[in-house]
Structure 1
């Protein structure tokens, strides 16, 4: 339970609270109890048991990802048969014990002793009635059987409604799950229901409590833009913002000047959210709980009420706004020589969308550009010039650039998909990226030099085994990776694949070989950025860790000892929490995007679309649409009616037993939409034609006839395109089909 609840149950008074807190820390350090990532107090690990996270697979079995410290000599995940899982579900934290039994490849097996902490008790699904009872088929593939929710018609639910349930007894082998129906979201397919499904499925706080809104309104009443006491007045400087067209809040603004010796002074001005959100207030507690803003395709769920996020703190054009400024002096070659920080006030001269910037920068000096003064134009050109210098230096130092475009949806007023596209990042994005990175690094270095503990953004080095797997994968595709532990060689690989059909597959495989970045006070550096000191400072409107950093900077600039830093334990706890909320936001956005795309294709069953092969597995092919970038499965049984295809692991291809034809990643194909199940997140295609491999084979034969040596897989230019495989699998029966069978 939470420390506060434990103290209450033990009858701890306010006078003894400090002593109680100290006792908890002492007990944790002595190993007498544990503190989970959620902040809950837990019993210590029983002797002979190991702590881990459950990852269930399609069969119902699971792999347990062990927590550190792992048992000596055990580096792999532990396999647990579904009969040995008790009622543990995907994402749950469990105690397991190891068995002497091993799998065929030597992998250790185990069994669950106890479920320590549930990943969630709340689920979303489809309601139906049977045998005078209410049942819910939970969305996704984790719960193959429906869950009993008691008497029919609870909360006014109708058959086929999407509903929210809270689990009372989790299903297990031989045990039906039981739950209580807590909310009816509406009929399946009704506009807005899918968004509410995701909000509840991921437990994202939506509406703000009244006390939080009252706090925000009070801050608005007290805000006086003319009171610049203790602030550096920068309202006369030429300052610009560059953001997406659809941006509603503006965290950052830029100034840049040439100073003596041909040096640059870069000013990165960040919204001073710490001025409005004081520690311990209702506003602060709610912001910490949320951890981050969530950007769904149909809705933005902000970390702070809009009166602050879209008003008081937002750096709007022509408005006086309070900021925290980082000034970095660079030589003409882009070498940083000094930094300083201040609480400031700015007035943005002009706001630009990314799409507007490069035409201005690339335009001839003699060309007139409407609405842009010569001063602003000069500023943009100099920003671009310095940013490209910094970018070149950063990659020379060993930074890695992984290009993973995001899918963006075009929606009609009802939230239905009318189209989709991948975001493109041009040099205007790179300008802002370089300056934000520079400010984040400068702040982290300052705290390190001052000996201040702070919440870093860290990215641990990848495991050698993961990089070895990456090397084998890319070489099977025909690319070279001589020294897989060398960042220079890894970036060389990313450069090799850029623009090729295999680019997405290699980028995704590389991403999987890396560890996840996280928030932590532990100094472990940032692998991808090749930086020892790094933190998040530049987005306090939408990220709580940045607000924490701003408070530390304010205390440093103002020599204020009232907010120096948190304890080491609290920093670790805050880091875990913020890492989890950031991942939750990303997963929710991806899942709603997937639902929207599947709903669109549910209306296109029987249609043929042009696609590209993005993954090859023993059970079939994953294909991604070219017009709308959604992925689906072509099961091996429907690849061809004229031949039988088998999986060639070495070639990473499906090979026709009779014809010898190969299908590999990057092959173009015409596929037919044959099945869509939005609830189970499934999309299935049937192969109509594919041509790319035959073309390559014909060229290879022609080369041999001319007496030239054939190009091997490493020397040839790869010719395929890929992306991460979709989660679509072969269809299972729907709830109504299950109902008929049971009857």
Structure 2
């Protein structure tokens, strides 16, 4: 066996020997004992084990406390972690143990590991001053086996050019496994094997998505890329179709009847899945009874059913530019569960008695039946609020008044107001973008949001305070950590360049100054850049069973209760709340924590898919504008270029550093800018620049700009 460089087989053997020595509880073993535990009984095999034990003892990996006996040195020779691929084919493995440093793995030592895979890495003995380097010895689990790309078919073989930038290998497809795909079509390919020593994996076409560049094909490709199914399984559809729509007397048992109380929904004009309604009643004591009624999805979707398993897997509805991919089949999401007007509907509600100052007098949680009197679009409700007259004007105006008080109180307590611009497209019948506009949020949007926040907060608080210590009740919270102070300080320095001061002395001061900033920046050209940077400096919100606060909203307890048609965590929350209202014992925390973690993962995937669909439509829109000059704001800087967002239409593209001809530019990461090495000219995040649309690559959803020098 070669002594100068370890072969991959050697590394696997060393790993197996290490496992044996680790299990020996620090008892030193000789080579015969190690061989026996590895079921190696032939003389040549035993000799190899002895040779490896001696060699690794010389290297300091194993100890030899007495001649011929070996044990594991107390250091980590093998580490498990996640592969983060770089553009050149090498990778860093990010260890599961957050206190371990990242391990660099060269391309030829990855041994078929792909981006995101969970792997075991052998760490080489560190040379002075060098970073940790290693070699993948085992793939513990694949991040994904399915990829999206364009198929190229020749006479003898076919291969798929994968869209994913971090998948650096084409996937070969035998001509017998084409699944009906034609040359140049977009397909979904599943890796079936990767033979030892082969440069490329072998795959099978599992879905033909259509012709490259067609709207439906590209939207389906985005869904498939992020792991969302394109259709519901037949058994799930059958189960949904079997659910009756009419409400029977037994369905009303144990429900409060709100059918005679004024109730309405307020949603986007094109919405079909109405999962929340508000009821309003003025009480004889002068207070107001306000009910937040939520579609009772858990009445119809029961644990263990095919519907429930599918909803769990998806975890969320996905909102692409031109379509919604619902978490539940349409029969439920737009029919049985949707709180449509002039129909009796089953709900789960949080009902509050509030006084004129929006103070909580009493609250009630439980199942209800409602009959919505009116379906408002946001625009229609806004018209009534602004005109102070019209359908249900008294109710809407009072709700708006109370919502304003709740909102003001929330900000006074330290909540942060992030009003980032939401881009919408005007599309023709074929999904082609005709124009881009920014969605405005007015009082009607905020009114609904404030009452949903109230319901979410009070439900979380009710369960959190029901049991303490070892008697606490398992629940699914929406948690948001305090920001990383280093990231926030860095943002504060950047905001100061625009004349905005961020006070980082305390959580309340941070929130107050961020709110002043958001208020000041509204409508200004730098609004989106500063808002996005501020959001990036914040921690990400997640689902968890651990009781923790929501920093951004300044709530001690928070959950998601109000959207079970489109979010699985809300379904879990309904089930848990129902159980605890009936004094059932606490649910299994481990199972719910796993479900919460899965929901957080799927939520991120859905957001990435939505962003990808926006990026595609922006590219499609600008494809007609190649050569046009626009004014934009520098929205990001990297070592290879700067991102610019066009002010007029919010489309973002990149100016590559190699294309700026007047100097050699490098990134100054600390100061969010790029600097010319000779003339010292700076291009800073937030600067206004003129650009020309240079090139659009629809397949890669990539827009290239060139700088128009003044």
Distance 2:679 2:76 in 1: 59
1:529-549 Cα shifts (integer Å, max 9, x gaps): 222221111111111111122
Of 657, 664, 667, which residue of structure 1 is paired with 2:684? 664
Aligned to 1:413: 429
CA apart distance, 1:501: 3.2
1:656-681 Cα shifts (integer Å, max 9, x gaps): 56766543333333322222223333
Bigger Rg, which one: 2
Q: How does 1:144-543 map to 2 (within 5 A)?
A: 144-151=168-175, 154-169=178-193, 175-220=199-244, 223-224=247-248, 228-259=252-283, 262-364=286-388, 369=390, 372=391, 376-451=392-467, 452-475=473-496, 479-483=500-504, 486-496=507-517, 498-499=521-522, 500-543=524-567
Question: Do the aligned residues in 2 keep the contact of 1:521 with 1:571 (CA within 8 Å)?
Answer: yes
Q: 3-state SS of the aligned residue for 2:298? A: helix
Question: Do the aligned residues in 2 keep the contact of 1:476 with 1:652 (CA within 8 Å)?
Answer: no
Distance 1:310 1:382 in 2: 30
Question: Do the aligned residues in 2 keep the contact of 1:58 with 1:142 (CA within 8 Å)?
Answer: yes
Question: Do the aligned residues in 2 keep the contact of 1:122 with 1:165 (CA within 8 Å)?
Answer: yes
Question: Do the aligned residues in 1 keep the contact of 2:78 with 2:122 (CA within 8 Å)?
Answer: yes
Question: Do the aligned residues in 2 keep the contact of 1:494 with 1:507 (CA within 8 Å)?
Answer: no
Of 59, 70, 93, which residue of structure 1 is paired with 2:98? 70
Distance 2:155 2:416 in 1: 59
Distance 1:676 1:407 in 2: 19
1:641-696 Cα shifts (integer Å, max 9, x gaps): 55555555565444556766543333333322222223333221111245xxxxxx
Aligned to 2:141: 117
Q: Which has the higher contact order (CA 8 A, sep 6+)?
A: 1
Aligned to 2:5: none
1:51-71 Cα shifts (integer Å, max 9, x gaps): 33222232333333433x433
Q: 3-state SS of the aligned residue for 1:383? A: helix
Q: 3-state SS of the aligned residue for 1:508? A: helix
Aligned to 2:13: none
Distance 2:316 2:580 in 1: 25
CA apart distance, 1:192: 1.0
Distance 1:146 1:63 in 2: 21
Of 114, 118, 124, which residue of structure 2 is paired with 1:93? 118
CA apart distance, 1:307: 1.8
Cα separation, partners in 2 of 1:259 and 1:97, compared to 1, 3 Å: farther
Q: 3-state SS of the aligned residue for 1:55? A: strand
Cα separation, partners in 2 of 1:463 and 1:669, compared to 1, 3 Å: closer
1:682-736 Cα shifts (integer Å, max 9, x gaps): 221111245xxxxxxxxxxxxxxxxxxxxxxxxxxxxxxxxxxxxxxxxxxxxxx
Cα separation, partners in 2 of 1:193 and 1:427, compared to 1, 3 Å: same
Cα separation, partners in 2 of 1:473 and 1:609, compared to 1, 3 Å: closer
Cα separation, partners in 2 of 1:173 and 1:488, compared to 1, 3 Å: farther
Question: Do the aligned residues in 2 keep the contact of 1:133 with 1:152 (CA within 8 Å)?
Answer: no
Q: 3-state SS of the aligned residue for 2:262? A: coil
Equivalent residues, number: 628
CA apart distance, 1:273: 1.4
1:621-659 Cα shifts (integer Å, max 9, x gaps): 2111233322111122333x5555555556544455676
Matched, 1:683 2:703: yes
Cα separation, partners in 2 of 1:281 and 1:652, compared to 1, 3 Å: closer
Structure 2 length normalisation: TM-score?
0.81
RMSD: 3.0
Cα separation, partners in 2 of 1:508 and 1:49, compared to 1, 3 Å: farther
Distance 2:670 2:207 in 1: 51
Cα separation, partners in 2 of 1:277 and 1:473, compared to 1, 3 Å: same
Question: Do the aligned residues in 2 keep the contact of 1:220 with 1:307 (CA within 8 Å)?
Answer: no
Structure 1 length normalisation: TM-score?
0.78
CA apart distance, 1:486: 2.8
Of 82, 87, 99, which residue of structure 1 is paired with 2:107? 82
Q: 3-state SS of the aligned residue for 2:301? A: coil
CA apart distance, 1:174: 8.0
Distance 1:183 1:632 in 2: 31
Cα separation, partners in 2 of 1:287 and 1:652, compared to 1, 3 Å: closer
CA apart distance, 1:120: 0.9
Unaligned runs of 5+ in 1: 1-45, 691-743
Q: 3-state SS of the aligned residue for 1:407? A: strand
Distance 2:552 2:118 in 1: 29
Distance 1:469 1:601 in 2: 33
Cα separation, partners in 2 of 1:462 and 1:270, compared to 1, 3 Å: same
Cα separation, partners in 2 of 1:401 and 1:174, compared to 1, 3 Å: farther
